Structure 1
Amino acid sequence: MEQRELHTITCSLSRREIEQRMCNPNILGSFIKSYQPPNISDSFLPFLLFLCTLSPPLSLSPCFYRLEANTVAQRFSSPGYPKGYLPKSRCQWQIRASEDNAIFVTFPFFHIEDDCSDDFVSIYDSLSPDDSQAITEKCGQRPPSNPLAVTSSGNIMLINFITDSVVQRPGFEAEYKAIPKSKVKTCGGVLSENKGVFTSPLYPSFYPPSVDCKWTIKVTVGKKVRVKFTMFRMKEPGVDIRVCHKDYVDVMGTKYCGEMSSLDLTSETNVLDVSFHSDESFTDKGFSAIYSAFDPANPCPNKFACASGICIGEELQCDGWNDCGDMSDEMKCRCEEDQYSCDNGLCKPKLWVCDRVNDCGDWSDEKSCSCGENEWRCGDGLCMPQDVVCDQKMDCEDGSDEASCKTCKEFFKCMNAQCVNKVNAQCDRVNDCSDDSDEANCACGTRPYKLNRIVGGQNAELGEWPWQVSLHFLTYGHTCGASIISAKWLLSAAHCFVTNTVFIVLNHVASNWLSYSGMQDQYKQDGVERRAIKKIITNPDYNQMTFDYDVALLELSEPLKFTNTIQPICLPASSHVFPAGMSCWVTGWGALREGGSKAQLLQKAMVKIINDTVCNIVTEGQVTSRMLCSGFLAGGVDACQGDSGGPMVCFEESGKWFQAGIVSWGEGCARRNKPGVYSRVSKLVDWIKKETGI
C-alpha cells in the first residue's frame, strides 16, 4: 500500500470525529486492521492519530522518533534548529525508559511562535496524545532562568511538535534522561526544625503527574507555624481556583491552586500539615515555601502582625495603604490630625481629600466635593474650571472637555492629520486612524521571555526589563540608568551629564561613557551588548536648579541587536494619559537604601502615580508640568541614588509597556510624604522625536 493511500485511509474520518487534536484510536485501529498495511507497528499508531488532523493531507514522510532514555543525558531538537523550523510541521518523539525509571526532559533552549493556536509543543504522560494525560502545552520563548523542565510519572513520554505559522522561529533543543521512579514519588515527611524550606516535587522543574505528598511541620511546644510561599504556581486549563479540584496544596482544610502573588498561612497549634496533590493531567512549576516558628504572644517582634500572619513595619499601620493585603493594618485605626477618617473606618492623608481619586474605596473622601459654580463636570464625574472646555488641552482624563470641540490638539493626531478623539489610541491594537498610523511603529514595549511571578521578589529576572540600560562613567562603574527607545538611541536624564561638580566638563564628553544593554548582574557580561556613546544631547531648557526639562538623549556608536533581553520601550504620545493611582514599575541598580551602596543585581519596585495636586503640595510647589510624582506617601518604596535616568514604565491593557517617566529627583529615598519625582515623558516626547527622528 502506498504511503499517500494509507494517509488517505487514516484521515478519512470526519472532522467531527477528531477531538482535541487526535482521532479516535478505536476507529482508526479498525481502519488499519481492515487494510492490514505492512510494516506498521503499534508504536506508530499515535503518530498516525495526530496526522489525521492535517488539512490538506500530506505525504506520509513522518518526523517520527523512538528514543530510549538511560541515566546518561541525551539530546534532540526540532527540525531545522537553530536556523528555524518550517510551517505545517508535525513531529513526534516517543521516549521509553526501563520499568523502574521515569523520564526527565528539560529544554535548555525554547523559542517558538508566541501564539499557541499556531505553533506549540505538547507533552504527554503516555504514548497517546490524550489530553487526560497531558503534562503541559507550551509556546513562546523561555529565558535560561526559567527553562521548561517536565517529568513523567512512569517510564513513557510523548512529545508532539505542531506548527502552522509561516513565521520562522529557531525551535527548541531538549535533553532527556531516565531518573529513578523513587525520586519522582518520594516527597513529604516530618519537618522538626524551627525553620526550613520545602518545595513541590522536583522544584523548580514541573512537578510530575499523579503525586501525593504530605509534610508535617512540628515546632517547639507553645509556638505556632508560619508558612510563607515564595513561589506558587499551579495553573491548569478549566480549573476554578475557588474549588481547586485537580492540582492543589491543602492547608488546614483549605485548598489553594492557580498563581498566587501572596500567600502566607499561620497554624493554630505547634503542628501544621501541608498536603500536595497532582492528578493525571497538566502539571506546573509548583511551589517553594519557607516555614518558621513564632511566639503567638509576640508574633512579630518590633513589627505589626497582620491577620494573615505577615509582619510589616509598625510605621505602615494606619497609613492609608493596604500593606498587609487583607486590610488588617488599616482597621480600628485612630486617625491622626493630618489624616481623614473615611466612612468605612479607614484613615487616609487629608491631602487626598477632594483630589478626584477614590482613595477611601467608598468615595467618602470625594463625596462633598461636588462641582461648584463656573465648574465643568467631566464625563467621569470630576470637576474642572469652566474655562478648561475647548481650550485645546485635554484636562479631563476621559477627554470630555474637548470631545465636542472642533479642535483636538491634545488628542492623538494621525499622520494624515486626522484627529482620534480617544484616550491612549496609540499601539492599542485597534486601528483608529484611517491610515493606521496609530498602530505604526509599535514594535516596542514587549518582553519576549515567559517569566515566573516570584512572590515578594525584588531582584529583577533576566529579560524582565529588556529596555533597561546601565551607563558607566570612566572607571566609576554604574553611574546612571537609561532606556532603549530605538536601536541607536537611549533616553536618560540631563542631570547625569550636566552637573555642578568638578566633573562638569567630563560628564558631557560622550567618550567618557559606556552603555550596557541586556544586563542583569553588574558583574556578568553574558548576553550583554556594550556600546560607546557617540553623542549626548541634553534638553536646552534643562534647569539645574529646578530639574525642569530633565531629559537627555544618547546616540550609540553602533546599533543594538535586539534579542530576548534587549528590546525598546514604547514612547507615549503627547496625549497619553497615565492616571493617578496607576501601578507602574521603576528599575535600576541604585542604592537599596538612602546612603547605601549600589546594587549588584537589577532591582525593581512597584510604585503608584500620585495625583498632580497632591504631588505639588508634598513637594511644596516645586513640580512643573514636565514632572510627575510616583511612589507611596507612606514611604518605603522609591528610586534612589544611581537610579537617575532610568525608566518608570507602565503596562497598558493593549499588552504594551510605555515609559511614563525618567528618574529625576527626590528628597532622600523612600521618605514619608516625599515621593520620587520623574520627568514626564509625554510632555517631552515631541522634542525626543524631533532630535532622534524616531
Structure 2
Amino acid sequence: MVIGGILIAGANGLFLAFIFLDLSAALDTNINGFEEGVEFLPANNSRKVEKRGPKRWVVLLALVLFFILISLMVGFLVWHFNYKNARVQKIFNGYLRITNENFIDAYENSNSTEFANLAGKVKEALRFLYHGIPALGPFYKESGVTAFSEGSIIAYYWSEFSVPQDMVEEVDRAISKEYVLSLPPRSRALQSFNVASVVAFPTDARTVQTSRDNSCSFSLHARAGEVTRFTTPGFPDSPYPARARCQWALRGDADLVLSLTFQSFDVAACDDDGNDVVMVYDTLTPVEPRAVVQLCGVYPPSYNLTFLSSQNVMLITLITNTVRRHPGFKAEFFQLSKMTECGGHLTGAQGTFNTPYYPGHYPPNIDCTWVIEVPRNQNVKIRFKIFYLVEPHQIVGTCNKDYVEVNGEKYCGEKPQFVVSSSTNKITVRFHSDESYTDTGFFAEYLSYDSSDPCPGMFTCKTGRCISNSLRCDGWADCTDFSDELHCVCNATSQFTCKNKFCKPLFWVCDGLNDCGDNSDELQCSCPDQTFKCRNGKCIPESQKCDKKDNCGDGSDEAECDSVWTVPCTQHTYKCQSGVCLSKGNPECDGQKDCSDGSDEKNCDCGIRSFSRQSRIVGGQNSDEGEWPWQVSLHAEGQGHICGASLISSTWLVSAAHCFVDELGIRYSQPSVWTAYLGLHDQSKRSARGVEERGFKQIIPHAAFNDYTFDYDIAVLELDEPVEFSSVIRPICLPDSSHTFPAGKTIWVTGWGHTKEGGSGALVLQKGEIRVINQTTCESLLPNQVTPRMMCVGFLNGGVDACQGDSGGPLSSVENDGRMFLAGVVSWGEGCARRNKPGVYTRVPTLRDWIKEKTGV
C-alpha cells in the first residue's frame, strides 16, 4: 500500500512541498531483535523471498537529519523574508530655499490656497530630488510641508522613507548631505521652480508635524511694539495634555529677530523615566543642529529663561511622555531689530563688556570681536567675572562649539572668575556661538596696569590676579593656579610640609581630610595603613569594618555599611520603631525601606524644594524664590527682622535659644513680641503673594541653654495657627540622633543677616555654600569653647559665613535623592567670615530626642 504525505512551509507567499512515500509492508523481526526485513510477495512465485534492509538506527538517523535540514531551510527563508528585508520607518525633518519666489503673507496660513499650491511644488521637487538619488529613491514614501518663512522663501518639511534594516546607515549618510537642485521643467507645476540648499536631519517621529496631527499646534505672529503671551493648554488651572505633542510656531516681521522668555516653567522632572521635555529651535522645524535649548523640570521665577533667535522665526515643542500632573509653562515673545554689529573698539584705562543681550542667553550663530586698547606704557588685564558657555555634546577638553578666544587660547564651559592679560597695551577678544544651544555668556571688565608692578604692594598670581601678601604660603590656594603656594618655605612651628611641598597648618594634620592633596598630612596619624579609625579613636583592622561585630566598642565600625543588617543598638546606630537597630548609616527618608516596619520612611514629606533648578549666582549670593521653603523670618515688635528659624511641621519651628533671651528691657522670651513670616523672600515684600504671617503660642528654649557658653543653643516655637504647605512653604527633614554629617560635607547656610562684619542686613534671602570642619580641628581653633552639641562649618580661609541676623536659621544639608535635612542651627562665631574662625552651629542630631519630646515631630 502507498500513502502520500505533503509538508508545506511558507514564507511571503513561497511554498515548499515535500512528498514522501511510506511503503508499508510486513516487518519481519527475529525474536532476538537482531534483524528486520520487508517482505515482497510476487504473484507468480510461491516461494517466499527475503531481502535484508538497513538497520533501524540508520533509518532514524537519516530521518532526523532530513527534518533538521528542512527546518534550517525553512528558518533561513523566514529570516530572509521577514527579518533581513524588514523595513524601518525613517522620518527626516529639513528645510530648503526657494530662490526665485518672494514670500507673501498668505504663506503663513497653512489653510490658504497659496500655501497649498506652493507646498505641492515643494513636495513634487522633493519627490524628484530623492528619486534621483540611488541610495534614497527606492525607499522614499512621501513628504509634507509644515511652514514657510522669508529668505527668499524657506520651506520646512518632513520626509518619510521605508528603509530595509541593512540600508539604514547608507540612507542616513545620503540624507545628511546638502543638495542644490535646479529642477528641469518636467511638469508644468515645476516650470521655472528653483530650489537650493536642501538640508535634512534624522528626527524623532514624535516631533513631526503633519496635516493629520494639528490638535495641539499653534501659530503666533509678533506685533510691532507689543508683547505676545501664550501658555500650555490649561495653564495654570489644569495640567497640560498627557502623552501628547504640542508645538508653537513663532514669527516676526522680516529682518527682525525674536526674544522669547518663559515666565513660569513647571513640567515633569528631567530625571524621571520617560520625562517630558520642551525644546526651542532657531527655525520652524525640529532639527537638533538648530536647537537653542532643552528644558524640563521646574524653574524658579528668578531663573533667567530668555532666549534670542538669529532670524524672524522660532519653534517650541512640548513632548509629553508621562501622566504626571504639571501645569506647564507661561511664556511671552516680542520682535526686535537685528544686531548690526557685535563687539567694538574699547579704549580707556578700564571698562566692561559682555556677550549680546547678557544676562539673557546670547543668540545662536553669532561672532563678536572686541579690540581693547589702554593707554600707552600700560598692559591690559581682563577679568571674566561671570562665565557660562555651556553646550550639550561639547567634547571635554575642547572648545569647538561656543567659545571665547584670547591670546590664541579658547575658553568655554562654566568657569569661576579668571583673569587673562596681555604683554602690550592692546588685546583682542573673540566670541563665537554656533547654530545650536546657547547660554547666558560672560560679563568681563578690563583694566590697565603697569607691567613692571602689576599689583602694587600685593602678590601677583600667574593668572594676573592680585592678592594680599599675607595670603602667600598660608596653605590656601588663593590663586586659581596655586601660584601663591608654590616655592614656599614652611614655618616649622606652625606649618606642616607636604610631600608636594605645599605648606599646611599643623592643626590640619591627622584631621581625617586630605588637605595636602597627596594625603601626606594623614599618613603618619595614629592609625596605620589598612586600618579603620573608630570615632572613639581606636584603630581596628580594615577587615573588621562592617563584619557585623562591634569591634570599635562604640558601634562606629558598623554604622556606615552598604549592606543593611540588624546590629546591637548604640548611639551611632539607627533605631527602627520596632526597636531593631540597623547597620546602615543615615537610612531615614532615603527612598529605601530598610526597617521591616517601614518606620525609616515614615513622615518623609519634607526637605524637598519646589524648584528642581536653582539660579546661577550673578554678582552676589541672592537665593531664588522658594529655594529654601523652610526658612522663616522672625520679627520682633518694632525692630523688624531679628533671627531666623526653620519650619519642621505645619505648627512647629526650630530656632536658637539665644534669640529669646530678655535684654535691654525687651522681653524676647514672650511669644507676643514675635511675628513669623513664612514663604518670605524679600524683606521689603512681606505682603507678597504666598507669604504667610503667624504669631506664636509658646516659645520653648532648651532648659540647659547657657547664655555665656551658648551650649544647648536651641529652641522650638509653636505657631498660633498651622500653615498650609505651598511652593514656597515646606518643612525641612529632621535628622535621626544617629545621623552623621561627615567632615568635608557641603552644607548651605541661609538668612537675611549682615552681608559683612559690621555691615547691614540683606533684603533678599542670602545663601552660602560651606563645609563641615573636623571636630578636632574645630576644638583646636576655638579651645575650651566647643561642646559636643556644637559643630564648626565654614571655610578656614574665611570668605563665607553666617553673620549677625542669621542666628536661629537653618544649616541645610542635601542628603538622599536631593532631600534636605536640618544639620544645624546658626549659633555663634568670632566675627563673620574671619580666617581660621569658622561659624559654630548647634548640632541638631544630638538634640533630636529633645525636639521630639517637646513637639512630637
Counterpart of 2:590, as a letter, is D
Give the structure 2 partner of residue 520 of structure 1: 681
Match for 1:70: what amino acid?
R
Preserved contact between residue 632 and residue 675 of structure 1 (Cα < 8 Å): yes
Q: How does 1:248-287 map to 2 (within 5 A)?
A: 248-287=403-442
Deviations 1:78-109 (A, max 9, x none): 10011122312321111222221122211222
The answer as to 2:737 corresponding to 1:581 is no
Residue range with higher mean Cα deviation, 188-197 or 567-576:
567-576
Contact (CA 8 Å) 2:752, 2:805: kept in 1 or not?
yes
Which residue number in structure 1 is paired with residue 646 of structure 2? 483
Say which of 841, 848, 851 aligns to 1:685: 848
Aligned to 1:615: 778
Q: Which residue of 2 aligns with 1:309?
A: 464
- Equivalent residue of 1:53, what SS? helix
Q: Which residue identity lines up with residue 308 of structure 2 in the other structure?
A: T
Q: For the Cα contact (< 8 Å) 2:536–2:554, is it kept in 1?
A: no
Q: Secondary structure at the match of 1:118?
A: coil
Correspondence 1:139 to 2:292: no
Q: Single out whichever of 225-234 and 153-162 deviates more from structure 2.
A: 225-234
C-alpha separation in 1, matches of 2:754 and 2:586 = 34
8 Å CA contact 1:51–1:90 kept in 2: the answer is: no
Secondary structure class of the residue paired with 1:318:
coil
Q: Which residue of 1 aligns with 2:710?
A: 547
Residue 435 of structure 1: how far off its partner (Å) = 4.6
Partners in 2 of 1:294 and 1:558 — Cα distance?
Answer: 61
Q: How many residues align?
A: 670
* 1:51-62 correspondence runs (5 A): 52-53=205-206, 60=213, 62=215
Give, as a single letter, the amino acid of the residue that structure 2 aligns with 1:133: R
Q: CA deviation at 1:118?
A: 1.9
Q: 1:610 touches 1:631 (CA, 8 Å); kept in 2?
A: yes
- Mapped partners of 2:775, 2:653: distance in 1: 27
Distance in 1 separating the partners of 2:514 and 2:605: 35
Aligned to 1:595: 758
Q: 2:556 aligns with which of 382, 388, 394?
A: 394
SS at match of 1:686: helix
Partners in 2 of 1:341 and 1:434 — Cα distance? 51
Q: CA deviation at 1:568?
A: 2.8
**Would the alpha carbon gap of residues 89 and 574 (structure 1) be closer, same or farther in structure 2, given more than 3 Å must change?**
same
Distance, in Å, in 2 between the alignment partners of 1:566 and 1:268 is 54
Alignment root-mean-square deviation, CA: 3.7
Residues 261 and 429 of structure 1, relative CA distance in 2, 3 Å threshold: farther
Aligned to 2:336, what secondary structure does the other structure show? strand
Q: Equivalent residue of 2:522, what SS?
A: coil
Shift in Å, 1:440 = 4.0
> d(CA) in 1 for partners of 2:767 and 2:806?
11
Deviating more after overlay: 615-624 vs 310-319:
310-319
**Secondary structure of the equivalent of 1:17?**
strand
In structure 2, the gaps of 5 or more residues are 1-85, 96-121, 132-139, 149-154, 161-202, 541-548
CA contact (8 A) 2:93 2:157 kept: no
**What is the distance in 2 between the residues matched to 1:560 and 1:315?**
51
Could you report, residue by residue, the CA deviation over 1:470-491 in whole angstroms, capped at 9, with x for unpaired residues? 2111111111111222333221
- Secondary structure of the 2:298 match is coil
Corresponding residue to 1:558 among 721, 733, 742: 721
Q: How far, CA to CA, are the matches of 2:457 and 2:388 in structure 1?
A: 32
Larger Rg belongs to: 2
Preserved contact between residue 586 and residue 605 of structure 1 (Cα < 8 Å): yes
Structure 2 partner of 1:77: 231
Aligned to 1:338: 494
* Structure 1 residue 514 displacement after superposition: 1.2
CA distance in 2 between partners of 1:289 and 1:641 (Å):
32
In the TM superposition, what is the alpha-carbon distance from 1:395 to its structure 2 partner?
Answer: 7.1
Q: What code does the residue aligned with 1:274 have?
A: V
**1:71-110 mapped onto 2 (5 Å cutoff):** 71=224, 72-83=226-237, 84-110=239-265
Scaled by the length of structure 2, what TM-score is found?
0.71
Alpha-carbon deviation of 1:398? 4.4
Does 2:319 correspond to 1:246?
no
Amino acid at match of 1:142: Y
Instruction: Report if the CA contact (8 A) 1:304-1:313 is conserved.
Output: yes
Q: 1:304 to 1:619 in 2, by over 3 A?
A: same
CA distance in 2, matches of 1:20, 1:343: 59
SS at match of 2:668: helix
Distance (Å, rounded) in 1 between the aligned partners of 2:606 and 2:843:
19
Q: Which amino acid aligns with 1:53?
A: R
Alpha carbons of 1:556 and 1:97: their partners in 2 closer, same or farther (altered >3 Å)?
same
Specify whether residues 430 and 352 from structure 1 end up closer, same or farther in structure 2 by C-alpha distance, changes over 3 A only: same
Residues 1:127 and 2:280 aligned together = no
Q: Which moved more, 1:416-425 or 1:164-173?
A: 416-425
**1:219 positional shift:** 1.3
User: How far 1:319 sits from its partner (Å)?
Assistant: 2.2
Q: Structure 1 vs Structure 2: percent identity of aligned residues?
A: 46
Correspondence for 1:179: 336
CA deviation map 1:506-548 (0-9, x unaligned): 2111121112233333223334332222321212222223222
Q: Secondary structure at the match of 1:507?
A: coil
Equivalent pair of 1:571/1:658 in contact (CA under 8 Å): yes
Structure 1 residues 331, 255: CA separation in 2 closer, same or farther (over 3 Å shift)?
A: same
TM-score, reference length from structure 1: 0.87
Give the partner amino acid of 1:510: P
Q: Is the 8 A contact 1:21 1:53 kept in 2?
A: no
CA distance in 2, matches of 1:436, 1:223: 70
The 1:51–1:460 alpha-carbon spacing in structure 2 relative to 1, beyond 3 Å, is: closer
1:151 and 2:151 matched = no
For residues 656 and 14 of structure 1, the distance between their equivalents in structure 2, rounded to whole angstroms, comes to 47
Tell me the CA shift for residue 124 of structure 1: 1.0
**Which shifted more, 562-571 or 201-210?**
562-571
Q: Is the Cα–Cα contact under 8 Å of residues 626 and 680 in structure 1 kept in the other structure?
A: yes
Read off the aligned partner of 1:556 and give its amino acid letter. Answer: L
> In 2, Cα distance between the equivalents of 1:429 and 1:437?
12
Structure 2 SS opposite 1:521: coil
Deviation at 1:403, TM superposition (A): 9.0
Look up the match of 2:767: 604
User: What are the equivalent positions in structure 2 for 1:636-647 lying under 5 Å apart?
Assistant: 636-647=799-810
Question: Where does structure 1 lack aligned partners over 5 or more consecutive residues?
Answer: 1-12
